A and B are shown apart, each in its own frame.
Chain A
Amino acid sequence: MTDIRAVSRQLAEALKEHRADYIEARLEESQRSHITYRGKELESAGQSTAVGGNVRALVKGGWGFVSFNDLTNLPDRIEQAVKQAKLVGKEESRLAPVETVVDTVANGKDVPLTIPLAEKKKLLDEYNEIIWRTPHLQTSVIGYADSHKKTIFLNSAGSYIEQPRTDITLRISAVAADDGEVQQAGLSLGSRGDFGAIRNLQQQVEETAKHAVALLSAPRLKGGDYTVVLDPVLAGVFVHEAFGHLSEADHIYQNERLREIMVLGKKFGGKELNIIDSAAVPDLRGSYKYDDEGVAATKTYLIKEGELVGRLHSRETAARMGEKPTGNARAINYRFPPIVRMTNTYIEPVKGSFNDIIADIKEGVYAKNWFGGTTSMEMFTFSAGEAYMIRNGKLAEALRPVVLTGNVFTTLNNIDAIGSDLDMNQGGGCGKGGQMPLPVSNGSPHIRIRQCLVGGS
């Protein structure tokens, strides 16, 4: 494989010669493997390698970006990026100042590359057998993927950062069918390189398969407003969709009206509500030491005691809003420029157990686990993998999966209980600007939302 360190030395020299307000380059080499099952049989196993890079230039506020797999002719690529930036630039370039960093970050532990494909497959075989032991099961889908990459970041201020990143994901879904009805239940997990995170799931896999079968006879919820209790996984998806995306400064900085709405100090929720994004928490899927602009990771309070106190920035959005950079510029790979993204986003724990939270609910919905979520900033939807009625303070019958929707400006205010049991959901991937799935995590304790709109029949 091409040695990207050697290429980076030529690139560092070439970057010095070029006349842009700012210029940076990233080189990346990666190895991936995947194993998928559909039904009893393995469907696909594959391995891939990739080497590529990019150059990004800023001239008078305009950006040029060139990405490539072919690592020859790098001076031409630099020239092209600068030329494009010049064509765009019509104002002043502004980037928040950051320190020049020269650092080589060490490899994490348990790199899955050292585990033979045969061992990975053996574990998946075991899970698939558990699913297939469940009566009435129609089929199963299992997707395992791991990737390991090394990135070298260079910029015109003299930064040189070499960082490894390892990511593991496992998705299992069990499909039950009966008389033309099809129902599914799933499990979604991941880690930042620790293969142990996906071992010992036998019990969870069995419960997932049984739940898919149970859904065939479960009733549909009647659509409408309910008091809803979310488990830590789904509450994590909720905080990511409902609030996280709105706190990304690239949506806000050029939009006067949004700047007014998202003014620091604005009240979004009760005194107990604290929302944080932090890439600096170690060993979660959204964790890193430096972002893709070479800015060190930080812990950022987005909401403190119910008030908006911060947001997520790239160097450009921070400069244009007169705020501090937070190290949230991320690119999914070398084919894309970095944009403002979340990392590990969570609601801080307060007090109370799940039983305390449901104790005084006469009729409500307990929504657990996730299928997905999306946002238009004001409105968001997210869907639960499992749902149950709550009656007179107790869990009652299982329901067909439900989709919840809300309005960020009212729903956060309707959170009236936050438990103590913070847990992180590592099974998600975030999409924005065509870059997906970006490894992120999100989490929360159990939370209760009054008057949440739930779709039904």
Chain B
Amino acid sequence: MEKILAQARKLAEEADVFLVSAEETPVQFEANRLKHIQSKQSTSVALRIIKDGRLGYATGTDVGDIQSLVDNAVETARFGTRAKFELPPATPYPKVDTFDPDVESVSVEKMAQLGEELIALITGHTPEIICEALVEKETVALRLINSRGGQASYKKSIFTIGIVGSLIRGTDMLFVGEGQSYCHPLTEVGEIARVVLRQLDLAKNQASAPTKTLPVIFTPEGVASALISPLMTAFNGKTVLEGASPIGKRLGERVFDDKLSLWDDPTIAYRPYSRPCDDEGVPSQRTSLIEKGVVANFLYDLQTAALAKTKSTGSASRGGGLPLPSSSTLVIAPGKASFDDMVSDIKEGLVIEQLMGAEQGNILGGDFSGNVLLGYKVESGKIVGRVKNTMVSGNVYQLLKEISAIGSQPKWVSGVINTPPLYCPRLSVASK
């Protein structure tokens, strides 16, 4: 890495080098049986340079192939966008625990056993169900150095268990599922099984939904599948800078119900998206996004922050290209209502667990629309069965302007977001 940086500095004013090495071991089950064991080793090195004030960028898988990396970066710097930021010098980082050496040492036999136990619990309840399951361990080492002396390195371990069950009766298909991801090894599957069994129990009967506007409870999974994607687009500093965020000019204004608070916090220990610093070496921090209904902050990386004349929130994330602002670990503050209280408040309405296709609409404008893949009908304060052939459509800004209640029991969804259920008074439902 130091050689890459040294070589780049001969041709460019500034540079940073980002190296990620990962070992992943997924153990996969198909049709209730162990089917695949995989092991994936990967290395990826990214070089970003600032040459004549412009950004150049290249990535490769071979750390030894310095020449191609530098040549590619220099070629792209000819037209690269103008760099408006300065790379961070050496700086202290908060202590954020993201690595547990025990993850690495879980044997594949043990992982296979966890999957088998989970499937046995679910098929024990519903023998005809067909499950696909994944038990995976992953360790990642990240290292970043730059031409201003900045450097960061940390390790991360992630252990994931996920299951999807399908139950087919005639041509009717029901899909249930649950997944958890953690930086410690998950050692028992009872909690995951309980979630799936509850879904199976609630979905046992079918109920029909009318075509009209109804009150709706989004479960934590429902919040994650329907509402988070349009919100995160709007809170992205890049969208704001372009003037394409519906809330971009409303910093400090009350846009949402005053019961709603949302923040991004990469410093929470042992969550898969937590980290001591972002992918540009800026220290991690908790960033409030919605504070009691008021738009509090947007998420920025170095370049976007410089263009917007503000400071990076330590939200740079690298996919395949240059760093971009992105959320890490999200939290929605819990409220006071129990789930049962919310259900019993509804005369006629829906509970939404999973929306399919919610991210296909005009996300930028806050619209979401999708088929209720898993959801239940509420009649006179009771869940009476599962709905099918039902579509809901709405706009997050209209929906979250007025919230009837926020649940008191939050839940981690896929290790990415910790959210309680949200009970909203009005959502458009179409059904046949």
Q: Which A residues are closer than 8 A to B by beta carbons? A: 1-2, 33-34, 36, 38-39, 41-52, 62-70, 80, 84-85, 87-88, 90, 117-118, 121, 138-139, 175, 177, 180-184, 223-225, 254-255, 257-258, 261, 335, 337, 371-383, 400-403, 405, 407, 409, 451, 453-457
Contacts and interface: CB of A to CB of B under 8 A. Distances in A.
A36 to B, nearest CB: 7
Given A34-B321, A50-B60, A225 B432 contact: yes
Contact of B357 (A64, A258, A378, A383): A383
A80 to B, nearest CB: 6
Contact of B36 (A1, A63, A117, A257): A63
Contacts of A50: 60-61
Most buried by B among A44, A45, A64, A379: A45
Nearest to B58: A47
B90 interface: no
Given A85-B37, A337-B38, 10 more contacts: A46-B57, A52-B61, A62-B36, A64-B38, A66-B41, A67-B38, A117-B79, A257-B168, A335-B40, A374-B360
A254 B321 CA distance: 39
B214 to A, nearest CB: 12
B43 interface: yes
Contacts of A44: 55, 57, 80-81, 321-322
10 smallest CB-CB distances across A and B, nearest first, come from A381-B357, A223-B430, A254-B31, A383-B360, A46-B57, A47-B72, A84-B37, A378-B173, A372-B360, A257-B168
Interface string B25-55: 0000011011111111111100000000001
B171 interface: yes
Given A45-B57, A121-B79, A383-B357, A183 B40 contact: no
8 contacts: A42-B79, A63-B36, A65-B39, A70-B43, A257-B128, A261-B170, A383-B361, A401-B367
Contact of A400 (B80, B112, B362): B362
Given A181-B365, A257-B128, A47 B360 contact: no
B391 interface: yes
A407 B389 contact: yes
Contacts of B360: 371-374, 381-383, 403
A34 B320 contact: yes
A43 B320 CA distance: 13
Nearest to B355: A381
B430 A64 contact: no
| Tier of interface size on chain B | 35 or more
A150 to B, nearest CB: 15
B62 interface: yes
Contacts of A402: 369
A182 B365 contact: yes
B357 A139 contact: no
A38 B40 contact: no
Nearest to B167: A257
| Interface SS, A side | strand
A225 to B, nearest CB: 6
Given A121-B79, A454-B430, A261 B171 contact: yes
B422 interface: no
Given A63-B36, A376-B373, A379-B373, A453 B365 contact: no
Most chain A beta-carbon neighbours within 10 Å: one of B55, B59, B245, B393: B393
A223 B214 CA distance: 14
A215 to B, nearest CB: 8
B364 A182 contact: yes
Contacts of B56: 45
B80 A258 contact: no
A372 B363 CA distance: 12
A252 B357 CA distance: 23
A300 to B, nearest CB: 23
Interface in B308-366: 320-322, 356-357, 359-362, 364-366
Interface string B207-222: 0000100000000000
A70 to B, nearest CB: 6
Listed residue (B40, B371, B373, B389) with the most chain A CB atoms within 10 angstroms of its CB: B371
B72 to A, nearest CB: 4
A182 B367 CA distance: 10
